[in-house]
Structure 1
Amino acid sequence: MSSSRLRVFPEVDAGNGVERRVLADSPELMVVEFRFPEGGAGALHHHPHVQSTYVKSGRFAFTVGEETFEIGPGDSFVIPSNAVHGCRALAAGVLIDTFTPRRDDFL
């Protein structure tokens, strides 16, 4: 890979004890790492992007629409466009989220 194409993004405070770092992006796709302390939360929200979430580590209670479920390492799922969703870390952990198209608000 050409070093001119490699972008390094800073870690930013995403609120509620959560740290966010963009890992890679293009106009069509974005990969983002979220680090949660135990009890850290991603507030209920929605956006027009389709999102997939992969649990790298930790344990989370996740709500998507009217459904709440518990997920752990190796689990993954897709959140449809505009679905209300959020999570709470039951144990400290890391989520890897992908968004299509890119979340320009994260840049």
Structure 2
Amino acid sequence: MSDYPIVSTGENVTRQVLSDHPDLMVVAFRFDKEGATGALHHHPHVQSTYVESGRFRFTLGDTTRDVGPGDSFVVPANQEHGCVCLEPGMLVDGFTPRRDDFL
């Protein structure tokens, strides 16, 4: 169980830091409704994403693909990416280095 707060990141989307170290951070993102979005963005961190539950349409640069439970992928540093929730669920993201802006 995480001692970090659950933070709203948009309509029907929350995040919670699960663990962190200066070199690595693990964060859970919960999407509560179909159509909820993770807006297109980029950051200097390398990100890995694991789909714990639900279905999502991810845009990674010029590529769009649908992912579901058990899928995972890596987002290179500074690559634009975002998603639309197709079925409510949770994503577990790892970031290196840690996302200090999430603390």
* Contact map agreement 1:16 1:42 (CA 8 A) in 2: no
Moved over 4 A (4+): none
Which residue of 1 is the match for residue 14 of structure 2?
Answer: 19
User: If you compute each CA radius of gyration, which structure gives the higher value, 1 or 2?
Assistant: 1
1:73 to 49, 69, 87: 69
For structure 1, the 5+ residue unaligned runs are 1-5
TM-score, scaled to structure 1: 0.92
Deviations 1:45-65 (A, max 9, x none): 000000000000000000000
Identity %: 64
Which residue of 1 is the match for residue 43 of structure 2?
Answer: 47
**Which AA in structure 1 matches 2:84?**
R
1:17 to partner: Cα distance? 1.7
CA separation in 1, counterparts of 2:56 and 2:3? 27
SS in 1 for 2:17: strand
Which residue of 1 is the match for residue 92 of structure 2?
Answer: 96
Total equivalences in the alignment: 102
User: Alignment RMSD, CA only?
Assistant: 1.2
**Which AA in structure 2 matches 1:24?**
S
* Contact map agreement 2:2 2:17 (CA 8 A) in 1: no
Deviations 1:18-62 (A, max 9, x none): 000000000000000000022110000000000000000000000
CA separation in 2, counterparts of 1:7 and 1:63? 29
1:28 to 6, 23, 38: 23
CA separation in 2, counterparts of 1:72 and 1:46? 22
TM-score, scaled to structure 2: 0.96
